[in-house]
Structure 1
Amino acid sequence: MSELLTDKVVLITGASSGIGAAAARVFSREGAAVVLAARREERLAAVVGELRAGGREAAYAVGDVTVSADAARVVDFAVTTYGRLDAAFNNAGVGGDRTPLHLMPDEVYNAIMDVNVRGVWNCLRHEIAAMLPRGGGAIVNNSSVGGLVAIPAAAPYIASKHAVVGLTRAAADEYAKQGIRVNAVAPGTTRSEITVDWFTRNPGLEEVAHSVTPQGRTAEPEEIAAAVAWLLSDRCPFLTGAVLPVDGGFVNH
């Protein structure tokens, strides 16, 4: 069987670490030319250097998804570099402190919503605009199990990830007839900078997460990336507007 993403040009945001960097590696192995975007140039350059050393097509652009002009520039860079944009993984996101809702500072709420919601909004607008003239494409937004259920003391994060689900479904409905599929993944506990930080600042939290996950473990970023690669591929042409839990069974528990 051929690679999932052979000859596709795929943009990945939040690609300097965690799920985004894992996605760059997985998509490359599946045959894609990847364009990585994030704010940390040194890390982007390291991942791209690694991929190129392995004979893969990869490039990067520094940008902040909360800034519409940056999102536009990153998409334009992908199109200019490789001639088109076939697919995108809107992965950039932040976590936040675990604080009761009535004690949550405004600045924490604002920062989380800005990256997790406005960032996806900005990227969707410019990615869709680039895909429409070509007659289609595929986009996956990174939500969370927190976009499907409630998690205590994380109200802004939960709200932001529910909003990602809403944006996914709205875009999928609006552009289905133009050949653009828009889906989302809802990862469970995954070993990334955000979760490692949460576990470090909240001793015992990882054990709690394992106790409510039927598989009883933390996912590796590559496991999430593999699901995204399938959603972006041509293997599921009738799938749009879906939110795929990749969570070890958490939402069924």
Structure 2
Amino acid sequence: MRPICLALCLSASPAAAQDTDLELVLLADASGSITQEELLFQREGYARAITDPDVLSAISRTAYGEIAVTYVEWAANQAQVVDWTRIAGPDEAQGFADALLSMPRQAYGRNAIGAALLEALRLMEVNEIDGWRRVIDFSGDSAGNFSGPGIEEARDHVVAQGVTINALPILRPDDPGRAQGGLERIYEDRIIGGQGAFVVTARDRGSFSEAVKRKLILEISGEMPERFARAD
């Protein structure tokens, strides 16, 4: 009976961690500056991008042919809207997109960017996934930090763990521009970090989906663009 018991015990044990090419946290703004309409628009942009044939092609060309993705919204609190999902093809991508579009809003309040970056790191540390690369895809339309750890303090801690932080600033009409210290410059100076870190900008609502798609392809492929890029 001992061999049977051993087999049963082994079958009940947790599955060993599997390698994947990329652990990617999509860290999206849900703070008070983001209306419900804007929140849904952001989710639609990410859902459209993750199912785009060009993004799926980039996934198929990775070393492992798959990536692991989770979607988290940040404000005063952080909410994991869609759990870690392994995506290797259109079916998994569509399932991720459908889940993203079906979930209610769960993050509210003013900005806590430092806490959001640390939460993204924590989700990577506890997910039982062994990614060859780890990236946080941070997006937002402001740079305030009204509670929790400081932005630079959190960024430096995350980067020290071997994680790259990229950023997608969503510009508003009154943004003073990169040369005048606008949101693009702030994100470049205070948020991004790690190997090959970069900024891709959504200059307006119309360019958001294209900016997300471009950013995902760069992150998935592991390409290292210029530190600053723009999706017009």
- Taking structure 2 as the reference length, what is the TM-score of the superposition? 0.52
Structure 1 position 69, deviation (Å): 6.3
The equivalent residue for 1:71 is 116
Deviations 1:65-112 (A, max 9, x none): 62256425532442344257822222122xxxxxxxxxxxxxxxxxxx
Specify the code of the residue in structure 2 equivalent to 1:245: R
Superposed CA deviations along residues 132-190 of structure 1, whole A, max 9, x for unmatched, are 222x424123153x6xxxx6xx3xx3369943322344359x95xxx433322222332
What is residue 133 of structure 1 aligned with on the other side? 161
- CA drift of 1:222 comes to 2.7
* Larger Rg computed on CA atoms: 2
Give the aligned residue type for 2:227: G
Q: 1:163 aligns with which of 182, 195, 206?
A: 182
2:227 aligned residue: 241
Does the 8 Å contact 2:117/2:158 carry over to 1? no
Q: SS in structure 2 opposite 1:13?
A: strand
2:204 alignment partner in structure 1:
189
Note the C-alpha offset of 1:125: 4.4
Q: Is the 8 A contact 1:65 1:71 kept in 2?
A: no
Q: 1:235 Cα shift?
A: 3.8
Unpaired runs of 5+ residues, structure 2, are 1-19, 31-38, 60-66, 86-91
In 2, Cα distance between the equivalents of 1:64 and 1:81?
A: 26
Q: Which amino acid aligns with 2:161?
A: P
Distance 1:122 1:13 in 2: 18
Could you say what secondary structure the match of 2:22 adopts? coil
CA distance in 2, matches of 1:126, 1:56: 28
Aligned length: 172
Residue identity opposite 2:157 in structure 1: A
Aligned to 2:73: 37
Rate the CA distance shift 1:79–1:32 in 2: closer, same or farther, 3 A: closer
In structure 2, do the counterparts of structure 1 residues 81 and 63 end up closer, same or farther at CA, with 3 Å as the change threshold?
farther
CA displacement, residues 192-229 of structure 1 (integer Å, 9 cap, x when unaligned): xxxxxxxxxxxxxxxxxxxxxxxxxx44x432210111
The 5 A counterparts of 1:18-97 are: 18-23=41-46, 26-27=49-50, 30=59, 31-39=67-75, 45=81, 48=82, 54-56=94-96, 62=107, 66-67=111-112, 70-71=115-116, 74-82=119-127, 86-93=134-141
Between the two proteins, what is the percent identity of the paired residues? 9
- CA distance 1:55–1:33, shift in 2 (3 Å): same
Gapped regions of structure 1 (runs ≥ 5): 94-115, 191-217, 248-253
SS of the counterpart of 2:140?
coil
Distance 2:152 2:216 in 1: 18
* Pairwise CA distance, 1:117: 1.8
Distance across 2 between alignment mates of 1:56 and 1:79: 18
Q: CA deviation at 1:25?
A: 5.4
> SS of the counterpart of 1:131?
helix
- Give the letter for the 2:140 counterpart: A
Structure 1 counterpart SS, 2:201 = strand
Which has more helix, going by share of residues?
A: 1
Go from structure 1 to structure 2 and tell me whether the alpha carbon gap of 1:34 and 1:138 turns closer, same or farther (over 3 Å shift).
Answer: same
